Structure 1
Amino acid sequence: MTAYDDLMAFQRDTEALAQVAGRLGWDQETVMPRGAAPQRAEEMAAMESVLHARRIDPRIADWLAQIEPAALDAVGQANLRHIKRDFDRATRVPADLAARIARVTSAAQGTWAEARAADDFAAFAPTLKEVIALKREEGAALAEGRGIGIYDAMLEDYEPGTTAADLEAMFGALRPKLSELRAAVREAEAPPVLEGAFDEAAQMTLTAKLARRFGYDLATGRIDKAVHPFSSGSGLDVRITTRTNALDPFNCFYSTVHEVGHAAYEQGIDSAYLLTPLGRGVSMGVHESQSRIYENQIGRSRAFTGWLFGEMTAVYGDFGVPDAGTFYRIVNRVSDGFIRTEADELQYNLHVLLRFDLERALMSGDLQVDGLQAAWNDRFEADFGYPVDRPSNGVLQDVHWSVGLLGYFPTYSLGNVYAGCLHEALREAVPDLDEALARGDTSAATGWLRENVQKHGGLYEPRKVITRACGKPPTEAPLLTYLENKFTELYGI
C-alpha cells in the first residue's frame, strides 16, 4: 500500500469512531436517563482521549511527508487538505486539555439544562466560567505563532477561511437594514395569529410527512423528540430531533424542515466519500444554508404554504384560518419574541448578531461571565425594544456555550447569507419552481441543491461551494433583497 492508502485506512477508523462519539451525544439529548450524566461525562472524555490520540498520531506526519500531493487527483488532494488541517490543529491542543474540555462540557450540558429549567443563571455561571476558561486556553493554543486572534482560531472549527473581520463587515451591512425593515413592519398592520390547540401526536405524523416531502430518507434516518431540535450523524446513519407544542404546531413543522435541511445535506453527499474527511458537510455556514433555504425560502414560500394549508386542513379540519393566503401571512408573521429558534426570518439574524458580539467579548476577556446576563439584557432591549423577562428567555436559552461551541453562532447568519445567494440562483435555474411547490413537490429545489451543493461534501472550501453553485462569490445583498421584497409585499409597506 502507498502512504496515501495507509493514511486513508487510518482516517477511516478515526471517522468511524467520531461517528460513535456523535451517537453518544445524540443519546444524551434524547433517551439517556438523567442520572447517567456523570458517567456519560466520563465516557465522552474517554472517547475524546482516544480520538485526540488518533488525531495527533505521529504516523500521520510521516504519511503526509511521504505523499506527493501533485500525484493525487482532486479528491485525494481535498482529503489531504482536511487531514493536514485537522492534524495541525489537533497537535496544537494538549491531550489533557482536550479531555478536560470534553469532560467539563458534557457535564455542563446537564447543569445548563437544570439552570434553564429553574431560571437561575447564577447556578450556571460557575460552570460557564470553567468552560470559557478552557476554550480560551484552547483558542490561545490554536492561535499561537500564527498572527491571528483567539476568536479567529475558534471560527476555523466551524467555517474555515472566514475571520471575525469578514463577519463583522458582512453583519455590519445586515444589521441596520434589517432593523430598518423591522421598524417599518412593526408600524404596519400585522397578520392574525394562529389560535387553538393542535394534537401533538398528529403534529408528529404530519412532520414525518413533511420530512419525506423534503427528501429525508427514513431508511437511513430517524426522527425523535428533544428539548432543543438538532441533527447529527452522516452517511448511512443520520438522525434529527424536533419538538411539539400543542399551541404552536409551526414550531414542530418548521423545526423539522430545518433539521431535514441539515440531514439531507449529509444524506446527499457522494457515497464514495463515506467515512472520509469529504463525507460530511464542509462547514457549519454551508450546512446552515441548507437548513435555512429548506425552512424559509422553500418551506415558508407562498406556494408551499398553500400545500401545507391543505394538509393541516385534512388533519385538523377547520382550524380557524379561512384560506391559503391568510395561512401564508400567519406562517410568516413578524412577532415579538425572545427565542432565537422561534424567530421569524426578518428578526432571526438580529438574535444571532447579539450572540456573535457577546461571545467575541467573552473570548477576548472584554466581557466576564459575571456581567454576561446584564450585557445580554441590555443588548436585547436595544435591538428589540422590550426587556428580557427571565433567563430562560435570554442568556440561558441556548445550549451552545455550555457545550463549548464558541464561534458557532455566526455561522447561522452566514448560512442565511449563503441561502439568499443559493435561492437567487435556484430561481434562475428553475423558473417554474412555484408550480411544483404548490403541489408539495420540493424535488426540483432539493434536487438542484443536492447536485450543486450537497453531493460535494468537503471536496471544496466553503465559499467555493457557494461560488460554484451561484456563479459568483457570496454577499449579503441577495438575502436583503429577498427579505425586503417578501415583507414589503406581505405587510403592504
Structure 2
Amino acid sequence: MTSFAELMAFQRETEALSQVAGRLGWDQETVMPRGAAAQRAEESGAMQSVLHARRIDPRIGEWLEAAEAEAVDDTARAQLRHIRRDHARAMRVPGDLAAAIARQAALAQGQWAEARAADDFATFAPVLAEIIALKREEGAALAAGGDIYDALLDDYEPGAKATDLDAMFSALRPRLVALREQALQQAGRRAALEGRFAPNKQMKLARKLAKTFGYDMARGRLDKAVHPFSSGSGSDVRITTRTSESDPFNCIYSTIHEVGHACYEQAIDPTYALTPLGRGVSMGVHESQSRIYENQLGRSRALTGWLYTEMRYAFGDFGVADADAFYGVVNALGRGFIRTEADEVQYNLHVLLRYDLERALISGDLQARDLEAAWNDRFAADFGYPVARPSDGCLQDVHWSVGLFGYFPTYTLGNVYAGCLHEALRVAVPDLDAHLSQGRLDPATEWLRENVQRYGGLMQPRDLITQATGAAPTEAPLLAYLEQKFGELYPA
C-alpha cells in the first residue's frame, strides 16, 4: 500500500469510531434511560480518549509527509488538508483534557435538562463554570498564543475570525432592528391558530414533510428530543423534532430545519463516505441548508399555500380562513423568547445576543454565576421586554452545557449563506414558485444538491458558496430578501 492508502485506511476507522461516538449522543437525547447519565459520561469519555489517541498517532505525521507526493488530484489534496488540520489541532490538546471535556459535557447535558425543567439556573451555574474552564483550557491550547475564541470558532467554521463576523453582524443589526420595529407595530392584526393539535398527527405530518423535502427515511429516522438536532452522515443520518399541542409550527419547522441538515449529509458524494470529505464542510454551510429549507422554501407564499391544504387535511379547521391568511400566520412577528421559534427577522438578533455573551464568558469578562443577570439585561435592551424565567432565557439552549462555544455565530453566518444561495437559486429556477405551490421541492433541492451538498468537505466554506452563487458571500442578499418579504407583509 502507498502511504496515502495507508493513511486513508487508518482515517476510515477513525471516522467510523467518530460516528459511533455521535450515536452515543443521539441515544442520550432520545431513548437513553435517565439513570444512565453517569455511565454514559464514562462511555463518552472513553470513546473520546480512543479517538484522541488515534488523531495524534505519530504515524499520521509520517504518512502525511510521504503522501504529499502521492496526492495527484484535488480530492486527494483536500483529504490531506483536512487530516493535516485535524491532526495539528489534536496534537495541541492533551488527551486527558479531551476526555475530561467529553465526560463533563455528557454529565452537564442531563444536569442542564433538569435545571431547565426546574427553571433553576443557580444550581446549574457551577456546572457551566466547569465546562467554561475546560473550554478555555482547550482554546488556549489550540490558539498557541493567539485568540482563544477564534481557536474555538475554527472548530465550526474553519478560517473564520471574530473580527470578520463583527463587521458582518454590525451591518445586520441596525436594519434588522428597524424592520422589526416596523413590523411589530402591526403584528397584532394577524390571524392566529386555534384549538389543540394532537402530537401523533403532528408527527405524521412531520414525516410526510421530511419525505417531501427529500429526506431518505431508508437511511434515517425521525424521533423526539428536548432540543431538535440532526446526527450522523452517509447511510445513517438521524433527525429529531418536538411537539407542542398548542403550536404545530414548532414541530413542522423544526422538522424541515433538521431535514435540511440531514439532506446535506445524505447527498454528499458516496465515494467520500467515512473520510474527512464525507461530512458537511462547516456549520455555517450546514446551517445554510437547514435555513433555506426552513425559511426561503418552507415559509414562502407558494409552499405555505400547499402546506395550508395539508394542515387542514391533518387537523381540520384551525381558525385560519384561507392560504393567504395562513402565509401571514406562518410568518407572523411577535414578542417571544425562544430562538428556535423566532421569526426570520428576529432570529439573528437572538444569535447575536448569544455570540456576544459567549465571547465574554470565554474571555473571562463574564462569569458563569452572572450569566442569568447579563442575559436578562441584554435581552431587555435588545427586545424591549423582560425575561420571566431561565427556561425562556439563558437555559433555553443546550449548546453551552455541552461545550459548544463558537457554534452560535455560525447560525447567523448560515442565514447569510442561505440568502446568497436563495438569490442564485431564483435565477437558476425562475419558475420555482409554480413548483412549490404544488408541494414539489425537487427543483430547489436538486439545485442545492448539485451546487452545494454533493461536495461535502472538498472546498473551503467561503469558496463553496462563492462557486455556487458566482459571488463572495455578503449579508446584502439576506437583508434584501427580508426587507422585501416583511416589507410586503407589514408595510410602513
TM-score by length of 1: 0.99
- 1:318 Cα deviation from its structure 2 partner: 2.0
- 1:68 Cα deviation from its structure 2 partner: 2.2
- Name the aligned partner's letter for residue 382 of structure 1: A
What is residue 406 of structure 2 aligned with on the other side?
Answer: 407
- Is the CA contact (8 Å cut-off) linking 1:69 and 1:77 kept in structure 2? no
- Name the aligned partner's letter for residue 128 of structure 1: L
Residues 9-31 of structure 1: per-residue CA shift (max 9 Å, x gap): 00000000000000000000000
Distance (Å, rounded) in 2 between the aligned partners of 1:308 and 1:257? 12
Q: Residues 89-108 of structure 1 correspond to what in structure 2 (within 5 A)? A: 89-108=89-108
- Name the aligned partner's letter for residue 8 of structure 1: M
- Name the aligned partner's letter for residue 397 of structure 1: Q
Asked if 1:437 corresponds to 2:436, the answer is yes
Distance (Å, rounded) in 2 between the aligned partners of 1:38 and 1:72? 48
Distance (Å, rounded) in 2 between the aligned partners of 1:68 and 1:449? 32
What is residue 35 of structure 2 aligned with on the other side?
Answer: 35
- Is the CA contact (8 Å cut-off) linking 1:78 and 1:459 kept in structure 2? yes
What is residue 241 of structure 2 aligned with on the other side?
Answer: 242
What is residue 290 of structure 1 aligned with on the other side?
Answer: 289
What is residue 129 of structure 1 aligned with on the other side?
Answer: 129
- Is the CA contact (8 Å cut-off) linking 2:415 and 2:478 kept in structure 1? yes
Question: Is the deviation greater in 182-191 or in 197-206?
Answer: 182-191
What is residue 452 of structure 1 aligned with on the other side?
Answer: 451
- Is the CA contact (8 Å cut-off) linking 1:223 and 1:242 kept in structure 2? yes
- 1:69 Cα deviation from its structure 2 partner: 4.9
What is residue 161 of structure 1 aligned with on the other side?
Answer: 159
What is residue 75 of structure 1 aligned with on the other side?
Answer: 75
- Name the aligned partner's letter for residue 155 of structure 1: L
Distance (Å, rounded) in 2 between the aligned partners of 1:178 and 1:126? 35
- Is the CA contact (8 Å cut-off) linking 1:265 and 1:454 kept in structure 2? yes
- 1:399 Cα deviation from its structure 2 partner: 0.4
TM-score by length of 2: 0.99
Report SS of the residue matched to 1:68. Answer: helix
What is residue 85 of structure 1 aligned with on the other side?
Answer: 85
What is residue 472 of structure 2 aligned with on the other side?
Answer: 473
Residues 94-141 of structure 1: per-residue CA shift (max 9 Å, x gap): 001001101111101011111111111110001101000000000000
- Name the aligned partner's letter for residue 76 of structure 2: G
What is residue 142 of structure 1 aligned with on the other side?
Answer: 142
Quote the RMSD (CA, aligned, Å): 0.8
Residues 358-401 of structure 1: per-residue CA shift (max 9 Å, x gap): 00011111111121111100110001000000001001100000
Distance (Å, rounded) in 1 between the aligned partners of 2:448 and 2:470? 14
What is residue 117 of structure 2 aligned with on the other side?
Answer: 117
Q: Where in structure 2 are there 5+ consecutive unaligned residues? A: none
Distance (Å, rounded) in 1 between the aligned partners of 2:447 and 2:109? 37
- Name the aligned partner's letter for residue 179 of structure 1: V
Distance (Å, rounded) in 1 between the aligned partners of 2:68 and 2:311? 58
- Name the aligned partner's letter for residue 168 of structure 1: D
- 1:488 Cα deviation from its structure 2 partner: 0.5
Q: Where in structure 1 are there 5+ consecutive unaligned residues? A: none
Distance (Å, rounded) in 2 between the aligned partners of 1:382 and 1:71? 54
Report SS of the residue matched to 2:406. Answer: coil
Q: Residues 265-284 of structure 1 correspond to what in structure 2 (within 5 A)? A: 265-284=264-283
Distance (Å, rounded) in 1 between the aligned partners of 2:381 and 2:334? 17
- 1:224 Cα deviation from its structure 2 partner: 0.3
- 1:71 Cα deviation from its structure 2 partner: 4.1
Distance (Å, rounded) in 2 between the aligned partners of 1:366 and 1:72? 48
Distance (Å, rounded) in 2 between the aligned partners of 1:476 and 1:303? 24
What is residue 263 of structure 1 aligned with on the other side?
Answer: 262
- Name the aligned partner's letter for residue 162 of structure 2: A
Distance (Å, rounded) in 2 between the aligned partners of 1:21 and 1:325? 46
Distance (Å, rounded) in 2 between the aligned partners of 1:156 and 1:454? 21
Asked if 1:54 corresponds to 2:61, the answer is no
- Name the aligned partner's letter for residue 21 of structure 1: A
- Is the CA contact (8 Å cut-off) linking 1:108 and 1:403 kept in structure 2? yes
Q: Residues 296-335 of structure 1 correspond to what in structure 2 (within 5 A)? A: 296-335=295-334
Distance (Å, rounded) in 1 between the aligned partners of 2:71 and 2:445? 35
- 1:72 Cα deviation from its structure 2 partner: 2.1
- Is the CA contact (8 Å cut-off) linking 2:115 and 2:123 kept in structure 1? yes
Structure 1 stretches of 4+ with a deviation exceeding 3 A read none
Distance (Å, rounded) in 1 between the aligned partners of 2:398 and 2:317? 37
What is residue 202 of structure 1 aligned with on the other side?
Answer: 201
- Name the aligned partner's letter for residue 459 of structure 2: Y
Report SS of the residue matched to 1:306. Answer: helix
Counting aligned pairs with the same residue, the percent is 71
Distance (Å, rounded) in 2 between the aligned partners of 1:457 and 1:433? 25
- Is the CA contact (8 Å cut-off) linking 1:129 and 1:369 kept in structure 2? yes
- Name the aligned partner's letter for residue 184 of structure 2: R
Distance (Å, rounded) in 1 between the aligned partners of 2:433 and 2:226? 34
- 1:158 Cα deviation from its structure 2 partner: 0.1
- Name the aligned partner's letter for residue 144 of structure 1: A
- 1:2 Cα deviation from its structure 2 partner: 0.6
- Is the CA contact (8 Å cut-off) linking 2:192 and 2:320 kept in structure 1? no
Distance (Å, rounded) in 2 between the aligned partners of 1:100 and 1:324? 52
- Name the aligned partner's letter for residue 166 of structure 2: E
Distance (Å, rounded) in 2 between the aligned partners of 1:384 and 1:70? 56
Distance (Å, rounded) in 1 between the aligned partners of 2:76 and 2:163? 32
Distance (Å, rounded) in 2 between the aligned partners of 1:239 and 1:253? 16
- Name the aligned partner's letter for residue 132 of structure 2: I
What is residue 376 of structure 1 aligned with on the other side?
Answer: 375
Distance (Å, rounded) in 1 between the aligned partners of 2:398 and 2:313? 36
Report SS of the residue matched to 2:473. Answer: coil
What is residue 364 of structure 1 aligned with on the other side?
Answer: 363
Report SS of the residue matched to 1:224. Answer: strand
